[in-house]
Amino acid sequence: MRVLGEVLAANYHSFTFRSSERVPSDAVVATPLGGGAFLVGRVGGVDASAPDRAVYEVEVLRRGEPGPGGGIEFFAPREPAVPGAEVYEPPREVAAALFGFGADPKRSLRVGTALGGAVEVLLRPESLWRHVFVCGTTGSGKSHFAGVLVEELARLGIPAMIVDPLAEHLGLVASLGGAVVRPGRDYEVPLSSLTPEEAAQAVAALEGTHGYDLFLFSFTALRREVEEGHRSSFGLGDVLRRMERDGIHALRLDGYDVRVAMARVEHSLKRHRFLGEAERGPDWVGALNSGLPLAVDCSSLDALQVQLLAGATLRELQRLRLAGRIPPLAVFLDEAHLLAPSDRETPCKQVVREYVRMGRHWGVGVVLVSQNPLDVDRRVLAQCNTRAVFALEPDQLEALQGVKSDATPAMLRGLPRFPRGTCLLTGSYETVRHAVVVSVREFLGRRALRGAAATARATFPAKGAAAVGSPFRQAF
């Protein structure tokens, strides 16, 4: 235990100490209270006017006490530090417990180090069920952080599904033994998987025409038949036949107007090659029960198509998860500002909101990745209890109000200049208890999976549908 100095003055929220050593800003220090209890806090301001012994101000974070099982338990502080008491650098395990990090690397997500490398950042896997938001400018390391999470999940045998508009994670997924599927070529979703609101956006160019109104009338009728169990799905051919019947008999349209409407709808929907008659690949049940990641390569799609595909895919995964056919999983949504933007509705925005609101009850965690938090829907962002914030422009920091946790002013001032691979990690009491600057680790590669089946089995709160398969999944 390295002694740094002694307490000079204290109140219930902070204390000062003098030290001849240079103590880094945001370092974690502790001071004893007696009976094995101690206060632990974070270094903030410093008065370095004295030539040999600087005075440091410490924000008190928690009171620590020995737990009944031999560990450390933390509580809200209820008394000030003791003037004259030693101030010391706490053991690594105390600092790790303060932030809520896991204690067992074999059962945790190893994402990097903190406090100058003194503490390994081990996220508890169940924290993913409360969702993660990753943001930062281009080249700051946000996609790398998401990739590290994918790698760690694969090591633990927890499946991940990635909607990848920029094809940034395809190589990693393939290297881990996972699958990459390409919409329209080896992956189709039934047209019936869309809601009427989503389908309307697929033919939005026809709004104000007979084609738009007739399409919605017929599509809604077919959806009602699916919901009532009269049919399992439908595709474009079913819609066109229904439009022909409804246009003449229900809406009393002229035959020419009906034919023109059908032609326009057919042209609009055929542009989306991934919309088929029925579900065709991938085998979600087989792929996700393998515990390996699966990436959907959306790089050939435009923004509307990515939104349509994401909405249909998320709804299918929701159905399978609630039926207990696939295990608990993590869903990665890259370019999240395209899927759930702050300023407009999209074909998938509502289902994304459902995922972040209810996902932890289903056993589904969502990882949202975006360049700019200002562009992401506020309600979606507010539900993400873990945030990894990489370098951001100053004007983007205002979006972090309310989600920056107890980050110090020094942390926020330094955020725009963070080097690549460095992030501010914040969260809630259930995830990351106090803000901390993290250096994200490099990729480990395929060897990260070696021995995973025998040595890495995480357990999570059992909520929602039952899991199937291995002992790990049966723990839910």
99 within a domain of the structure (yes/no): no
- Check whether residue 266 and residue 351 sit in a common domain: no
Last residue of a domain, one of 275, 310, 341: 275
Instruction: Judge whether 128 and 365 are in contact, CB under 8 Å.
Output: yes
Domains held by the chain: number: 3
Q: List pLDDT tens digits, range 312-370.
A: 899 989 999 999 999 999 999 999 999 999 999 999 999 999 999 999 999 999 999 99
The boundaries of the domain holding residue 307 are: 120-185+283-474
311 within a domain of the structure (yes/no): yes
333 within a domain of the structure (yes/no): yes
- Check whether residue 194 and residue 136 sit in a common domain: no
- Check whether residue 172 and residue 132 sit in a common domain: yes
Where does the pLDDT of residue 465 fall: very low under 50, low under 70, confident under 90, or very high at 90 and above? very low
326 within a domain of the structure (yes/no): yes
- Check whether residue 301 and residue 405 sit in a common domain: yes
Where does the pLDDT of residue 403 fall: very low under 50, low under 70, confident under 90, or very high at 90 and above? low
Confidence at residue 400, expressed as pLDDT on a 0 to 100 scale: 66
For residues 187-196, give the mean pLDDT.
88
Q: In terms of C-beta density within 10 A (0-12 exposed, 13-18 middle, 19 or more buried), how is residue 105 classed?
A: exposed
Question: The pTM is what?
Answer: 0.88
Average pLDDT over all residues of the chain: 88
Is the pLDDT reported for residue 455 higher than 70?
Answer: no
- Check whether residue 207 and residue 250 sit in a common domain: yes
Where does the pLDDT of residue 444 fall: very low under 50, low under 70, confident under 90, or very high at 90 and above? confident
Confidence at residue 475, expressed as pLDDT on a 0 to 100 scale: 36
- Check whether residue 129 and residue 51 sit in a common domain: no
The CA-atom distances, in angstroms, between 166 and each of 108, 143, 163, 235, 294 are 28, 11, 9, 28, 15
CATH code of 38's domain: 2.40.30
363 within a domain of the structure (yes/no): yes
For residues 363-380, give the mean pLDDT.
94
108 within a domain of the structure (yes/no): no
- Check whether residue 409 and residue 462 sit in a common domain: yes
102 within a domain of the structure (yes/no): no
Last residue of a domain, one of 249, 275, 301: 275
Where does the pLDDT of residue 276 fall: very low under 50, low under 70, confident under 90, or very high at 90 and above? confident
CATH code of 346's domain: 3.40.50.300
Q: Which of 29-33, 96-100, 157-161, 191-195 has the lowest mean pLDDT?
A: 191-195
Instruction: Judge whether 156 and 150 are in contact, CB under 8 Å.
Output: no
Q: List pLDDT tens digits, range 140-186.
A: 999 999 999 999 999 999 999 999 999 999 999 999 999 999 998 88
- Check whether residue 202 and residue 312 sit in a common domain: no
Confidence at residue 307, expressed as pLDDT on a 0 to 100 scale: 95
